[in-house]
Structures are given as structure tokens and as C-alpha cells.
Amino acid sequence: MEKEELHKERKMKNKYSNLKQKGLKEKSKGITLIALVITIIVLLILAGVSIATLTGENGILTKANEAKTKTEIGTEKEQIAMAVAAETADKAGGILTKEGLQYQLEKLGADTTVVNEGEGFRVRFNNSKREYVLDKNGNIIQVYNEEESNLPETQKIGEWTKLNKVSKLGGYNSTAKVNAPKLGSELTAVTLTSDLNDYTKDGTWYDYKEQTGDTDGKTSKWANAVTTDSEGKITGYYVWIPRFAYKITSGYHQSTTGKIEIKFLKDATNEFADGTEEEVLTDPSKITYTDNKQNQWLVHPAFLSDASIGGGFGSKNGDSDGITGIWVAKFEISAYVGESETSTKQINSETSKQQIKLKVLPGVQSSSVENIGTMYTLAYNMNRSSDSHMLKNSEWGAVAYLAHSKYGRNGAEVEINDDTYSSQDSSNEQDAYTGGSNTTNGYLSNGDQSTTGNAYGIYDMNGGKREYVASYINNGNTNLEVNGKDMVGSDKGTSTKYKTVYKSDSADNSYNLAEDVKGDAIYETSLKDNGSTSWNSDYSSFPNNNTPFFRRGGSYTGNASAGLFYFSNYDGQGNNIASFRSCLIIG
């Protein structure tokens, strides 16, 4: 009996032991599975980090490819330079030929195809599929990567045609006697499709043509270019204003409309493009006047490197100072919220800046946003790779002076954009549209509203909506902070390349203090600071007291008081008859 009980007890212990071991095994198995899952997750995270490290925008492989491309381009440029040097040394007079250049490149072991390109050459490296455009002396003036090389020479986009193979590098054009437009990577040259035959015949796509005598011939073709989105849709039209010096030959600081002479300059120097030799100044304080005439030529401040006089872009190095030109928006700004395809008349403070997209298009409502500070920020972020910013007084003045000269309207006034159409918002009120029309191509019939009298000029500078510019008087008014905080910043009294600060005093004598400011189409082209006392009888009202910010151009309701020489003041708030304009600088 005892043996039987003992046997049962041992059997129970063994059963308990087996169950315990089985539980431990299952628990161990469970722990192993959890560990495995965790290990897999960690490995995936590490793999993701590794992939990003290798292939991301700043990844190792990406950087390696960029370095490889730079090395290849450096080698190809060196081979071209060596071939040019060898060929010019072998030929009397150093004249380059297509055949000679091809021969020298083959001697260097380069697999290339050389063809004539205007007065110069186009060299294609067959392995990398990159192309280099050379001038007649063998200097490289443009580089195209494989994607750009395979683009067709022209692409029709409605009334305009893209010109994909023109030089993007700018520089002085000795044939046109003006600085060629700098296009960079963001801009594509365009010409009216109706003028395409002229382009294909002689390679020109712009002509800053002198209007003779007192006639407004409306034949000057200022260079135009477009920006596009990832789908190839146009997001902005811009017009090139080349570097120039000016002289007011009559009407300085008068209400009677005067005359402005313009001379284009070579590159970023003070050398006249027409070859004449006269004194050209870059210091506005040294300009003198006799009988309401300017005695010296002055490089327009918008092109100089000194921010305190309205410039700020580029640098000063020997005979070079500043930039070769600026790109100015062809139309007033139109603003879009989110994915909307309809421009918004006025955007209030409840809409975040991140939701707002700016465009420069014809036939749409020009837009206003919360205040001038927000306008400034939106314009700044519009196209950072092209140094986008809100137009300043000096840049407005550069356009106005060129338009008034013989290279624009030759003294004739730009007609007002006073056409109104039903607003696209729920109010259904009458509103101004860019280019003086509510149709996409309507502006083409409104050439008199442009700075050239034809479709190649800049629109909406007379009428449309009053345009805020990135300029103000530093009078300490609270509206500088309330409405202009983003623009004014922590240093209210200092001009930068993105804003111009005017002097102010307690006696409200700011207009007279502006005598020192040149090129902005204010003091130089008006008699006093109130009334219709600017050239062309445009309205004058200098910033003061609670209204420290400048507005330009007048509105569609302005009649004769609106125009290129119009200036007024406001507190910086956005409203339904206020807009602004952007400007691009290609480095």
C-alpha cells in the first residue's frame, strides 16, 4: 500500500515537472519571437537610415554623383580650353574653326561632335551627352546637361514659344549692345510665337530698340522669360531690365514732365555699351544739377551693390560693382490658396502663409494679402533659388526710367489699366485684372498699357491696383511693427538688399530729406509731396505719421492721377485695391 502511494506521488511530481518544463519552453519560445520581431524592426530602422544616408538629398551616393559630375565637367572644360589654345596657336590671327576645334579635341582623346552655333560653336561630349556653347573666341558661355541637351530648340506654349537653347549665362551682348539676360536654372526665355521666324533667322529674342525723334514707335522688345512648375505650366512671366546709367536732361524736381536719357552699360562696369567715353558716377551724393538738368551720368542704384542707396545685390570688385540687370514681374501678383486655380482678391490673416502660392500671370485678379509684412515674406519665399523679393522703390524707378526713355515709350505715357470685371469671389464686385483683361490673352491687345507699347513690356504700372513696395520711412510709427513686422525686422533704420529705409524727422519733412535718394522716381520726378505734382500729372503723397509705407502706380479708379510716377502712403494693411510685385536676381 505504501509502495503504491509512493509510486503515485512520484508520478504526480514527474507530471508537474513535465508541465513546468513545457511552460518554460513555451515562455522561452514567446520571448524569442518578441526578440526576433524587435530585432527585425531595429534592422529595418537601421536599413532606412542607411538608405537615406546613401541616397537622400545629402546622401553619400548623391554627393558622390555630384562630385563625379563636377569632375567630369571640369575635365571637359579643360579639354575645350586646351583645344582652343592649341588651335589658335596654330592658326594665323588665332581664328577658330569648327574643323580645327574638332581636330584638337580628337587629339586629346575626347569623343565630341562640334557644330557651328551663330558666330560661335556647340561642342557635344558624346559619352556624357553634355553640350557646351562657345563664343567665336572659344569662351564657354553656356553648359547644357543631358536632359537640357535633348530638349527641342523651341516649344510653343500658346501665344509664346519657349527658347530652350539660348544662353542662360548672360554677359555683355556686343551685337545687341546691351547686357544679355541671365536666366539661371529657373527661367526659360520666350518670344511671341508670331515673332518666331525672326528668332530662327538670326538668333535674337530681344531688341531694346531706340525709338527715334519724338515718336513712340512701340517697337522695343524687352527680353521676356517664364518660370514653370513640375508639370511645365507657366507660373510667372518676367521682364529683363538691363544695367544702365541715366541722366535727367529736363524737368528735374519739377511737375512739368521732363526727359531721361539712358545709356546701357557693359557687364557690371561703368563702361558705356555704345563706346562713348563720359564720366559715369556711382555715388548719388556727387550728382549736381543746373537749370533742372542733371550734370553727370549716374549708374542706376538698383544695379549697384550698396544697399543704402537702393541696391545691395552683387559685390564690388575693381571696376565691377553690382549686377548686370534685374528681372521684374510682368504683371501684378496673383495669390492662390491651397490647390485652387482661381486667384483670390484679398486673403485675410486667418489663412496661413504656407497655404498661399504666388504667381505672375495675365488675365487674373491681382491679389492683396493681410499686410505689407506678409506680402514681403511671401515674395521672399516665392523663388529662393532666384533671390525673389518684393519690388523696392529703386527697382520700380529703374523700370519707370527705362519706360520713359527712348528704349521704352520715348516720353509717351503708359496708358492706365482701368478695365474692371466681376470679381471671382462671392462678392461679385468689380475688380481689376492683370494686363487689363479677364481673359488669358487679352493683354496682347492692350499693348498701350505696357512699358514698351507692345506685349514685350511690363503691365499694370499705371492703374490696376496700388502696389506696395519694400520701402518705408523710419518715423517710429507703431504701424511699422503692426503691419510691417516681417519686413521691418529688428533693425528698422537700416536698408538691406530687400528693403529701402528713408529718413524721417519730427518736423514731418521727410519728402525734402528724400532729395538724396536717386533713381526711385519720387523726388527727382515731382515738385512737392502732395497733389498732382509728379511728371505726367501723377499724384504725389509722401509717407508720414501713421502711414509710413510707400505705394506706387495708382489704381484703376485713379484716372489721370495714376501712373509710373505716382507715389502715395498707407499704413501697411492689405485691402481690395492694394497689391504688390516681385523681382528676381540671378547670381
pLDDT attached to residue 118? 67
Number of domains in the chain: 2
pLDDT of 559 > 50? The answer is: yes
How far apart (Å, rounded) are the C-alpha atoms in residues 237 and 441? 13
| Residues 343-366 pLDDT 10s | 888 887 777 888 899 999 999 999
Rg over alpha carbons for the chain, rounded to the nearest Å, is: 32
Residue 378 falls within a domain, yes or no? no
Residue 253: C-alpha distances to residues 133, 294, 564 (Å): 47, 10, 15
Give the range among 86-100, 205-219, 364-378 with minimum mean pLDDT. Answer: 86-100
Distances (CA, A) of 544 to 364, 370, 414: 33, 21, 28
Boundary residue ending a domain (89, 123, 149): 149
Residue 285 lies in a domain: yes
- The dihedral through the CA atoms of 50, 53, 55, 57 has a sign that is positive
Last residue of one domain, picked from the residues 149, 182, 216: 149
Question: Is residue 115, in this structure, part of any structural domain at all?
Answer: yes
3-state secondary structure string across 105-122: HHHCCCCEEEEEECCEEE
48 or 186, which is more confident?
186
pLDDT in tens, 229-249: 988 899 999 999 999 999 999
Residue 521: is it exposed, middle or buried by C-beta count within 10 angstroms (0-12/13-18/19+)? buried
pLDDT at 9: 53
Average pLDDT over residues 319-331: 97
**131 vs 126: CA distance, rounded Å:** 9
Q: Three cell numbers at 143? A: 553648359
Q: Determine, yes or no, domain membership for 6.
A: no
348 three-state secondary structure: coil
Q: Where are the beta strands (DSSP E) in 350-476?
A: 356-359, 389-390, 420-422, 430-432, 466-473
Higher pLDDT, 349 or 84: 84
Q: How confident is the model at residue 27 (pLDDT cuts 50, 70, 90)?
A: very low
Number of H helices, E strands in the chain: 10, 33
Cα–Cα distance, 240 to 284 (Å, whole number): 24
Dump pLDDT digits (tens) for 501-544: 999 987 678 999 999 999 999 999 999 999 999 999 999 999 99
- Tens of pLDDT, residue by residue over 242-272, are 999 999 999 999 999 999 999 999 999 999 9
- Say yes or no to pLDDT of 8 above 60: no
Would you state the pLDDT for residue 166? 84
Residue 16 has pLDDT above 80, yes or no: no
Three cell numbers written together for 341: 486655380
Q: pLDDT band at 34, cuts 50/70/90?
A: confident
Model confidence pLDDT, tens digit, residues 379-401: 999 999 999 999 999 999 999 99
Over 50: is that where the pLDDT of 375 sits? Answer: yes
**What is the rounded distance in angstroms from the CA atom of residue 210 to the CA atom of residue 219?**
8
pLDDT at 6 over 60: no
Stretch 283-296: mean pLDDT, rounded?
Answer: 98
Average pLDDT over residues 125-145: 85
Domain annotation covers residue 290: yes
Residue 222 has pLDDT above 50, yes or no: yes
pLDDT in tens, 397-452: 999 999 999 999 999 999 999 988 988 766 667 889 999 999 999 999 999 999 99
Which residue range forms the structural domain that includes residue 91? 60-149
Strands 120-125 and 549-552: unpaired
In a domain, 129, yes or no: yes
Q: Is residue 125 part of a domain?
A: yes
Query: What confidence category does residue 482 fall into, taking pLDDT thresholds of 50, 70 and 90?
Result: very high
Eight-state DSSP code of residue 356:
E
Is the per-residue pLDDT at 5 higher than 60? Answer: no
DSSP H/E element including 22: helix 2-55
pLDDT at position 12 is 53
Q: What confidence tier does 30 reach under pLDDT thresholds 50, 70, 90?
A: low
Task: State how far Cα 81 lies from the chain centre.
Answer: 32
* Number of other residues whose CB lies within 10 A of the CB of residue 119: 12
| 21 has pLDDT over 60 | no
**pLDDT of 574:** 92
pLDDT of 349: 74
Task: Tell me which of 26-30, 342-346, 395-399, 545-549 is least confident.
Answer: 26-30
> What single-letter amino acid sits at 71?
T
Q: For 166-221, what is each residue's pLDDT tens digit?
A: 878 788 998 899 999 999 888 999 999 999 988 876 678 999 999 988 889 999 99
Residue 80, domain member (yes or no): yes
Percent of the chain with pLDDT over 70: 90
